[in-house]
Amino acid sequence: MAVQLNYIAGEQKASRSGDTKEVVNPVNQQTVGEIQLSNEQDLNEAVEAAWNAKKAWKKLAGAERGSYLYKAADLLEQNVDNIAETMTKEMGKTLPEAKGETMRGAAILRYYAGEGMRKTGDVIPSTDSGAFMYTTRAPLGVVGVITPWNFPVAIPVWKIAPALIYGNTVVFKPATETAVTAGKIMDCFYEAGLPEGVLNMVTGPGSVIGQGLVEHPKVAGITFTGSDTTGKGIGQAAFARGAKYQLEMGGKNPVIIAADADLDKAVEGTVSGAFRSTGQKCTATSRVLIHSSVKEAFMQKLFTRMKDINIGDGLQEGVWMGPCASEAQMNSVLAYIEKGKEEGAKLVYGGNRWTSGEYKDGYFVEPTVFDEVKSHMAIAQEEIFGPVIGVLTFENIEEAFELANDTNFGLSASIYTQNISSMLQFIEDVDAGLVRINAETAGVELQAPFGGMKDSSSHSREQGEAAKEFFTSIKTVFVKG
């Protein structure tokens, strides 16, 4: 059984604590590996390594930094089968999805490698005719990267890659549940020859390693993806000491089914958005808002399509939906289902722990649909992060937009309609950082900015060129002879 070590200053090291924790497969509880339960000393060593490496890394040309990312991308692609299989065993995502995510990680690395050859500033006219004025960008320094378990390759890579290309050094704290997969990402960076101390990884509890990163005086920036409760605490702690912070904290994403929607496309998009990855996406469809005139037809098509969802071990061919990532996550989803019943929503599909033969001990939840949901209910307001959707009915498009906005979150939203006026009004009126027309709520392209409104984010954006805004600071230069 593999024991995942920390990566500090170019070496793999065991934690000083000597303590480890088993990572188990949510399908059968078999051990996937062990990870270090690191302590404050381990974290300090990693931060010092990043601090000592930042000056030399910053001075490299952008193209030279990019060359390491290109090499890491090639290695990620070469090891896609092994990385994807580990991901599936650790958190239950189906193997095709895991392979797709790993390949996306390679594409992200190549995209940001190219950023090393793009402009870093602008020439600005000065009021002094004898002067030359321009802007350039300076890296923050040491950046702490804290990531969740639901996208254990894509999310770390879309944070680490821009941090590195723009001249920062990194201390990476992955989710405990997927730290073995994280170690395989680190292998690719290390095999690419990344200089000592530029990228470090420390595993362990959030209360020690995560909080320690946020509070460390030598960490200039924190980028975090996870729950809104944890994120708000990170933001407050970072702000208190003047560190820059970036938070992506989930959503309660609506899909609107207008009276003129193509119902077959709407059903396919709803099922994919809600139940792929077992609903464990921050952009997953959680609320389905349906015009009353097409509700009956839509629901019939929805139930027919849901019967085709094949549940099981994501390593098996043909499996469409795997387990929840952990027992705690499964119990949380089941608790929300009970809450929905108590609140008076009508359970019309699923709603139980799924057990079948060899999977009787797995952390599976049936795809679940509640009807007659009211906007004030917890299942319409709180992020469930599982295969559960709530159906709400509307009579006109203005009411649909009001329902869509009636939540503290604002990450993604979609609408199915053929009406150009409704599309434009949706784009204008819906409070979400990502809006999609005749497409599911889930789905982000790596070259496009990603982030939410309201409680879904700290109002910064990840991915694409927008990542530059967080990982650098603008420096204005005035030169006079």
Give the model's pLDDT for residue 241. 96
Q: What is the pLDDT of residue 428?
A: 98
Task: Please give the Cα distance from 449 to 250 (Å, whole number).
Answer: 16
- Over residues 418-432, the mean pLDDT reads 98
The tokens of 279 are what?
């609903």
Q: Which amino acid is at 105?
A: G
Q: What is the pLDDT of residues 178-233, one digit of tens each?
A: 999 999 999 999 999 999 999 999 999 999 999 999 999 999 999 999 999 999 99
Backbone φ and ψ for 155, nearest 5 degrees, come out as -65, -50
Instruction: Kindly report the pTM of this predicted structure.
Output: 0.97
Kindly report the length of the chain.
481
**Is residue 248 flagged as an active site residue?**
yes
pLDDT (tens digit per residue) in 355-389: 988 899 999 999 999 999 999 999 999 999 999 99
Residue 207: which residues within 8 A CB-CB, separation 6 or more? Answer: none
pLDDT of residue 357: 83
Report which residue type is found at 266.
A
pLDDT in tens, 283-330: 999 999 999 999 999 999 999 999 999 999 999 999 999 999 999 999
Q: What is the pLDDT of residues 393-404, one digit of tens each?
A: 999 999 999 999
For residue 1, the model assigns a pLDDT of: 57
Q: Each residue of 100-134: pLDDT tens digit?
A: 999 999 999 999 999 999 999 999 999 999 999 99
Q: What angle, rounded to 10 degrees, do the helices at 80-91 and 62-78 form?
A: 70
Instruction: Give which of 421, 463, 343, 423 is closest to 413, Cα–Cα.
Output: 423
| Residue 346 in this model has a pLDDT that exceeds 90 | yes
Q: What is the DSSP letter of 360?
A: T
Query: What is the band of 137 on the pLDDT scale with cuts at 50, 70, 90?
Result: very high
Residue with tokens 């559960």: 388
Q: What φ, ψ does residue 244 adopt, rounded to 5°?
A: -80, 145
Contact 90, 98 (CB under 8 A): no
Q: Which pLDDT value is given to residue 3?
A: 85
Strand pairing of 409-410 and 453-454? antiparallel
Helix residue ranges, H only, 144-227? 154-165, 179-191, 211-215
At 163, list the tokens: 């941090």
Mark 436-465 as b/e (b = at least 16 C-beta within 10 Å).
Answer: beebbbbebebeebbbbbbbbbbebbbbbe
What is the distance between the alpha carbons of residues 460 and 112, in angstroms, rounded to a whole number? 18
Domains of the chain: 3-249+457-480 (3.40.605.10), 253-445 (3.40.309.10)
Give the span between the Cα atoms of 481 and 478, in whole angstroms.
10
Average pLDDT for the chain: 97
Neighbours of 62 (CB within 10 A): 18
Backbone angles phi, psi at 221, to 5 degrees: -150, 150
* Residue of 34, 101, 177, 248 marked catalytic: 248
Report which DSSP code applies to 186.
H
pLDDT digits (tens, 9 = 90+) for 225-253: 999 999 999 999 999 999 999 999 989 99
Instruction: For residue 323, give every residue at least 6 positions away whose Cβ sits within 8 Å of its Cβ, in sequence order, or none.
Output: 26, 27, 92, 278, 314, 330, 362, 363, 364, 365
Q: pLDDT band at residue 481, thresholds of 50, 70 and 90? A: confident
Running DSSP on this structure, what letter comes out for residue 144?
E
Percentage of the chain lying above the pLDDT 70 cut: 100
